[in-house]
């Protein structure tokens, strides 16, 4: 990940950009559960934002943070689902059934 700062001295404007390799962009898109075209659309980008001389997509700070957020949320949900699944597998259902029977019969 490269980071550079663009300074427009005429308008006294400073912008921070992050250059993300295309393969890395695809990985984060996949992690977010989107195909790369959908991710480009969500970030209000086009294929023209791929700068081969820079080695990837140039994302503004806001776009970069949004990309990381989307990928992180999806990954967190995946981990939570896996933990929930593991928890349910670890419960001994025969004990639960026996407890339920004893409570309903008494």
Measure the CA–CA gap between 33 and 38, rounded to whole angstroms: 10
pLDDT tens digits for 16-47?
888 888 889 999 898 888 888 999 998 999 88
pTM greater than 0.85: no
Q: Compute the radius of gyration of the chain from its Cα atoms.
A: 23
pLDDT digits (tens, 9 = 90+) for 48-69: 888 888 788 888 889 988 988 8
Of 104, 49, 8, 35, the closest CA to residue 96 belongs to 104
The answer to whether 25 and 43 are in contact (CB under 8 A) is no
Q: How far apart are CA 1 and CA 48, in angstroms?
A: 19
For residue 4, what is the DSSP state?
Answer: E
The full set of domain ranges for the chain reads: 2-77
């Amino acid at each position: 990940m490269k980071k550079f700062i663009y300074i427009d001295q005429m308008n006294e404007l400073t912008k921070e950009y992050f250059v993300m390799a295309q393969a890395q962009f695809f990985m984060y898109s996949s992690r977010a559960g989107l195909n790369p075209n959908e991710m480009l659309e969500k970030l209000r980008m086009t294929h023209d934002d791929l700068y081969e001389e820079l080695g990837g997509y140039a994302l503004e700070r806001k776009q970069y943070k949004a990309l990381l957020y989307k990928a992180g949320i999806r990954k967190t949900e995946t981990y939570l689902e896996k933990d929930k699944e593991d928890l349910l597998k670890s419960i001994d259902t025969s004990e639960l059934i026996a407890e339920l029977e004893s409570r309903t019969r008494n």
